[in-house]
Structure 1
Amino acid sequence: MHGVVVSQKLGLNKLGGKVRHFKPLTYIHLGAHIPDRLIFQTGLNFPRPKRRRRRPAKSCEQCRRRKIRCDLGQPCNGCVRARVSMECSYRDGSSGDAAAVPAKSRELASTETHPEAGEEVVIPRQPSRPEAGDDVPLTNQESLLLSNASPSQPLVSAPASSSTCIPPHTPRLRHVPEKTKLFGQTHWLHTAERFPISGSFHPVQVEPWFNDAKADLIETLQEARNLRFALKKQNAANLEQPIRDLRETLPVKETCDDLIRCYLRTFEPMYRIIHVPSFWNEYSQVWVGEHASTLQPVFLVKLSLILAIGTTFKEVSDDAEANHLWRLAQTWIQNAQWWLTGPSEKTTYNLDGLQVFCLLLLARQTTFNCRGATSWLSSGSLLRAAITMGLHRNPKLFPGLSLYQREIRARLWTTVLELSVQCCLDLGLPLNFSDIDYDACSPSNYDDPDLDSGSEPTPKPMDTPTDSSLQIMLAQSLPLRVEVIRLLNDFRHQQSYEKALEIGTKLRKACRDVAAFFHSSKVTDGSFADTCGLRPNMFHRKLMDNQLRRFIMFLHRDFMLQARADPRFYLSRKICVEAALVIASSDKGANLNQPLQRWEDTWRLALVGRGLFKCSLNFDAMLILSLEVITQLQDEAAPSYEADVLGEMAKAGRAPLIQVLESMQEQLTQLIARGNTSLKRLLFVNAHLTQIRALESGQPMKQAVYEAHAQTLRNCVAVLRETTAGATPQDSKEKVPREGVPRHIAN
């Protein structure tokens, strides 16, 4: 495939700058070939001499009058920058939508990307697409016009607008020697590019002051990047070989007990992986000297991963203890990866190995500073491993399986599907597996001790909470979420609005069912603090609700992005914004300045988690809320300084969204002060809040956004410097061996 290689310097234009391949267009002037008399009369009249029509203007009237380039949008960028978006119009009776179609089609003809500094972008040339009807012979076009023309009908038919389907996003490819990545259909880039300011610092369009200040911005950005990498490297534990005696790395029994209880009260009720009574029986042998040598290595690997997940939620005495446990968790996770991919592959080809795989995938997304957060490849391998073990088939087809074995297989299969679907949504990649490819049943409503009995007791009623209730409830909506993944990643067909509304309605009902279940279970805000069992608590309610609403948000997001130009999609816009608002408000008002010991579980998870496990600080929810507020401000007329009831109502309607964004801004700032090195969310939310304030006050947006962006970077650099200066160097750590950690993993 031939391509055009485009190089782009480092700057803010990487956020939204477009790299386009323009191809020459051939214009066919039908008016020069179709006689006027043949259109309006019949008979043997001779046609008039051919005359050439004037080429239609390729810009709106306002941009043509100002003599600037127009992107044919509705409204175009020029009118948006001039704050006259409501006046954007086109000649020859064309609407902005019709004029924007060819512009958009040319943009969609190539693969775009927003590269990092010094990256190269390969834009594959696609075969030229002729305009509608260009491949039809001219005589056929004449006869078509002659047969349909009438004095009351226009000669050029308007494009069909009755369809409520939209095309999928054009994929974006990051193609550099050190990293190649496809930005899928649910990637945040597709939302971020809709902001009129983010990434619009094109060298031709920016003011002179920006070129003078860009060098300072690049220098600050590079320093922030270097500090982030230094902190990550300083906090990382590099395991060069598997741990020989994993038991030696365990903390004291009291600490291990607390870490196990933290895992059991958080993730195990939702992702059923272990049988709790059996696990406690084996765990008790770890601390008995005569039985310690007989422990299976696979159990120690499972135990270490459970402890690693528990480090996120343990109530520590101070930050030093938290850092110590987080570093231990990294060594346990890396050791589990060694065990899974080591030479003894046959020892992992069983249900114990599958349990380790599930725990590893969960631990990599929920622990501090863990490497390898891109989990789609791992989840795909996990899914295929489960299929090769037959977990996708109905356990009742195998009469030799006991009740315990059937239920463990059903629970593990549901967990595998949950993790796989979740990873596909996070990265915008296909599942390659549908609900017609398996017939395994959902787990039955049993408590774990019920499976140890010799008989087969009857499952408890569904309205009775058990150890499996939460997993069963999530499994009820699993076919819907699998269908959402399929629809979002189907690049061969357009997305159907009616189908999205149908699935979205069912998912919203699932959200109501979750709320009703927790209400009937009498779950209180403090229930999670004093329980170590598998009963539902507020942590589960928030996480399950966010899980379902993320699918609703992504299902309607593409239609929401089209709603400004097409009012038929307004309902999707409303539903998408509501879902984003619920997600972002789940921890509204959280005070992360207080000691870590007083943090709630969802706050702790937001500090270290990724994807779903970022909880209320979800990046896509933040972008959607910001875009909604900015879109409302742009849809309004020029700012008026007179009393306006409608304006006051609109301002009051935007206030809750802005308050949530400001709360996210404050929490992200506090997380960076706590040691989180991710700056992207904070930079975006600061830029968008600055843009919102500039729109409300009628001030120039571009300079305000740049100054806010630069100031945020400087503040982050100052915080990262303090964190780096206060951290203990690795060399000094080696001189003080930590409790329970062998010398070969002390660094």
Structure 2
Amino acid sequence: MSESKTKRRRLVLSCFECKRRKLKCGRETPVCSRCINVGNPELCKYDPRFSMGTDTDVAGLACSNQAWSPNNSMSQLPTTTFDNFDASLIGDNCQPSSWLPFQLDLDLESSSSKVLDSESLIDSLKSQMQQQPVTDQRKSLNGRFRGPSHSTSIIASFQDLSRFMKQTVEDHHILGAPQWATYTPSAEQPLPSYSKDEVEQVIKHLLPAEERCRRLSKSYFDHFTGIYALFHVPSFWQEYQNYWDGTHNDPVRFNAMLLAVMSCSRCLFADDPLSFDGDSSTARNEAVEWLHAVEAWQGYRPAKSTTIEVFQVRCLVLFSKTLNDIDREDHYTASQTLLADAISNGLHRDWKLLGVDESVYERELRRKVWSAVAEQDIAACIERGVPSMVSNLFADIGQPKGYNDCDYYSSTEFEPSDQPDSQLTDSSFAKIAHSIRPLRYKINDFVNNPQKHRSLDQPHLVALRVQISEALDGMPNWSDPAPDVAGRNQGLVYRAVLELYLHELLLLLHLPFALTKDTAISSAVDTDFQ
């Protein structure tokens, strides 16, 4: 009996063209909105069973369509499913949310990163209600919220810029080539899972030869240690020497830290051959392998064994993923988890005021780590488009002092003299970044908090722009007094990154000018800024 019964195929609701291109189909009939937008309406074809109704699943779909129509009254809907449903949310006469004009689909991203404008979003909601059984209350949360300061939202606010970017891509001799329409990158090789017993051997096996480790580590410190000052540099190199001498008291932990450090500089390292590997590169793939092993090792560490070194490794992992564009959609979640754990362990508090004895070395190292955690938090919040929790957090740890790392050691009993901001030191970047972070919190909060966003007026915007201009004018010029070429280059990099932080705020302050009082997209946007 079972042999004669054929297995029923699952009905595919998307059109064949969207399914072939692996894109999210709008599922409108007779032609979906995506095929219309890309100029291929003639290619939009559906499974014939979609409209036949002969299959049980199709019949169920038809019942769903009958139960919900934009023209039907809400009284016709099953009360058990929509007891508290507000019909105005998707009604034809509803007012779009003030956030919806920030969203636009450029048709350049995959379905996982799709954003819509207000009318398209409302139509999409109606379409989804029509095509999905109303009895299925399970909702997928595999999407990602993107607020006003997210890059796609900014582009959506400036329609001329959006059209220009789309046209530029289409006209480009490489990006607009026909083969990219059907190009599918090769799937990445699945990363292995490591047991608790084997992970320590794995991270030891992945470590390159000592000479290559030294060059990669030196490259990290040459490029990044001032911007994310996680280490007391002389102590790191002392640990490095002890590790290779076999005298390190915690070699497994330092092994993991070394892999995390090298993963940050691997893509910058020109001494090793570099080649492309599908949609990645050999350097990035090696960094992915290192980070995967480090995270596996971290996962087996008991919570009670958390130390400042553990936070150093976690900051490095997140920083490396940002640099190497690994798990981009998870950067915000990872930064918030790191922040919550840092707060839980009291990195934001001055332990001396709480009666805890702490050396100069320990306190300064905690300041550095907390500064790196806060820096990654605000960067991730601006990128995702949400306010930062740290803006309302009481933190009295203070900014890193104006010390050079050679001014103090683990045995130092008295604090060295704090150098002024105009004097270039190993902590100069962290000091100035700490001083402008409240301004970044404030403007990010104004842009991404709907209530504060609506309360912004012209005088307030002008005052904020003046604050940014004053911060730019007050930026120390570290390149002049530096006695050596390396110091001058370091000062130039510090200043350039800090100025980028402030110019990013100017970009965010233009968002209100792109909207009228009723939050509809304005025809008189700030064209000069575009």
- Give the whole-Å Cα distance in 2 for the aligned partners of 1:425 and 1:113: 18
Report the 3-state secondary structure (helix = DSSP H, G, I; strand = E; otherwise coil) of the residue aligned with 1:467.
Answer: coil
2:509 maps to 555
Other structure's SS at 1:518 match: coil
Q: Distance in 1 between matches of 2:261 and 2:93?
A: 50
Tell me, yes or no, if the aligned pair for 2:227 and 2:494 is still in contact at 8 Å.
yes
Contact 1:263 1:306 (8 Å CA) reproduced: yes
On the 8 A contact 2:243/2:251 being kept in 1, the answer is: no
Q: Quick one: distance in 2 between partners of 1:378 and 1:117?
A: 22
Distance across 2 between alignment mates of 1:218 and 1:535: 40
- 2:143 aligns with 180
Aligned-partner SS, 2:143: strand
Shift of residue 534, structure 1, vs aligned partner: 11
Residue aligning to 1:106 = 95
Do structure 1's residue 439 and structure 2's residue 396 form an aligned pair?
yes
The equivalent residue for 2:375 is: 418
Separation in structure 2 between the aligned mates of residue 435 and residue 275 of structure 1, nearest angstrom: 29
Q: Which one of the candidate residues 292, 310, 324 is aligned to 1:334?
A: 292
Q: Return closer, same or farther for 1:179/1:376 CA change in 2, 3 Å cut-off.
A: same
Match of 2:478 in 1: 518
Q: Which amino acid aligns with 1:384?
A: A
Which residue of the partner structure matches residue 13 of structure 2? Answer: none
Q: Which residue of 2 aligns with 1:385?
A: 341
Bigger radius of gyration, 1 or 2? 1
What do the CA deviations read for 1:426-466 (whole angstroms, capped 9, x no partner)? 11122123255323311111111222133322222332211
Q: Are residues 189 and 458 of structure 1, via their aligned partners in 2, closer, same or farther at CA, if it must alter by over 3 Å?
A: closer
* Alignment-derived partner of residue 27 in structure 2: 7
The letter for the 2-side match of 1:353 is V
For structure 1, list consecutive stretches of 5 or more residues without a partner in the other structure: 16-20, 25-102, 127-174, 201-216, 578-627, 629-747
RMSD: 4.1
1:204-227 Cα offsets, whole Å, 9 max, x none, are: xxxxxxxxxxxxx99855522x1x
Report the equivalent of 1:316.
271
Measure the CA separation in 1 of the matches of 2:239 and 2:460: 49
Equivalenced residue count is 405
**For the structure 1 residues 177 and 508, does the alpha-carbon distance in structure 2 shift closer, same or farther, using more than 3 Å as the test?**
same
- 2:363 — aligned with what? 406
1:181–1:365: structure 2 CA closer, same or farther, 3 Å change rule?
Answer: same
The residue aligned with 2:254 is: 299
Q: CA deviation at 1:506?
A: 1.5
The match for 1:463 is 422
CA distance in 2, matches of 1:337, 1:188: 29
Inter-partner Cα distance in structure 1 for 2:285 and 2:241: 25
Change in CA separation of 1:248 and 1:341 when aligned onto 2, cut-off 3 Å: closer
Query: Which secondary structure does the structure 1 equivalent of 2:318 belong to?
Result: helix
Identity of aligned residues (%): 20
Letter in 1 for 2:415: E
Counterpart Cα distance in 1 of 2:474 and 2:313: 32
8 Å Cα contact 1:467-1:535 kept in structure 2: no
1:220 to 1:305, Cα distance in 2 relative to 1, 3 A:
same
- Residues 256-275 of structure 1: pairs in structure 2 closer than 5 A: 256-275=213-232
2:447 is equivalent to residue 488 of structure 1: yes
Q: 1:555 to 1:110 in 2, by over 3 A?
A: closer
What pairs up with 1:18-97 in 2 under 5 angstroms? none
Distance 1:387 1:566, change over 3 A: same
Q: Sort the Cα spacing of 1:188 and 1:12 in 2 relative to 1 into closer, same or farther, 3 A.
A: farther
Contact kept? 1:504, 1:552, Cα under 8 Å: yes
Q: Structure 2: where are the runs of 5+ without partners?
A: 1-24, 40-68, 73-91, 126-137, 165-175
1:385 Cα deviation from its structure 2 partner: 1.2
Cα 1:223–1:474, aligned 2, differ >3 Å: closer, same or farther? same
Q: 1:500 Cα shift?
A: 2.8
Q: Is the 8 A contact 2:148 2:154 kept in 1?
A: no
Q: Does structure 1 retain, via aligned residues, the 8 Å contact 2:436–2:471?
A: yes
- SS state at 1:182 partner: coil
Q: Find the aligned partners of 1:559 and 1:485 in 2 and give their Cα distance.
A: 16
Whole-Å Cα distance in 2 between the matches of residues 249 and 366 of structure 1?
20
TM-score normalised to structure 1 length: 0.48
Q: Which amino acid is the alignment partner of residue 467 of structure 2?
A: K
1:652-667 to structure 2, matched below 5 A, reads none
Name 1:609's counterpart in structure 2. none
C-alpha change, 1:414 and 1:104, in structure 2 (3 Å) is: farther
Q: Give the whole-Å Cα distance in 1 for the aligned partners of 2:343 and 2:152.
A: 33
Q: 1:535 to 1:403 in 2, by over 3 A?
A: farther
How far apart, in 2, do the equivalents of 1:218 and 1:22 lie?
A: 40
Deviations 1:319-356 (A, max 9, x none): 25995443321111112222333363333x22111111
Which structure ranks higher in relative contact order (CA pairs < 8 Å, sequence separation ≥ 6)?
A: 1
2:84 aligned partner = none
> Do residues 473 (structure 1) and 432 (structure 2) align?
yes
Deviations 1:639-680 (A, max 9, x none): xxxxxxxxxxxxxxxxxxxxxxxxxxxxxxxxxxxxxxxxxx
Structure 1 position 366, deviation (Å): 0.5
Q: Partners in 2 of 1:252 and 1:411 — Cα distance?
A: 30
Deviations 1:168-189 (A, max 9, x none): xxxxxxx995831222111233
Normalising by the residue count of structure 2, what TM-score does the alignment of the two structures yield? 0.66
Distance 1:109 1:484, change over 3 A: closer
- Structure 1 190/248 Cα, relative in aligned 2: closer, same or farther at 3 Å? closer
Residue 402 of structure 2 contacts residue 420 of structure 2 at CA under 8 Å; is this kept in 1? yes
CA deviation vs aligned residue, 1:273-310 (integer Å, no higher than 9, x gap): 1111111111112222x436x43422221111111111
The C-alpha deviation readout for 1:707-736, integer Å capped at 9, x for no partner, is xxxxxxxxxxxxxxxxxxxxxxxxxxxxxx
**TM-fit CA distance, 1:263:** 1.1
C-alpha separation between the residues in 1 aligned to 2:271 and 2:217? Answer: 14
Q: Distance in 1 between matches of 2:242 and 2:348?
A: 33
2:8 maps to which residue? none
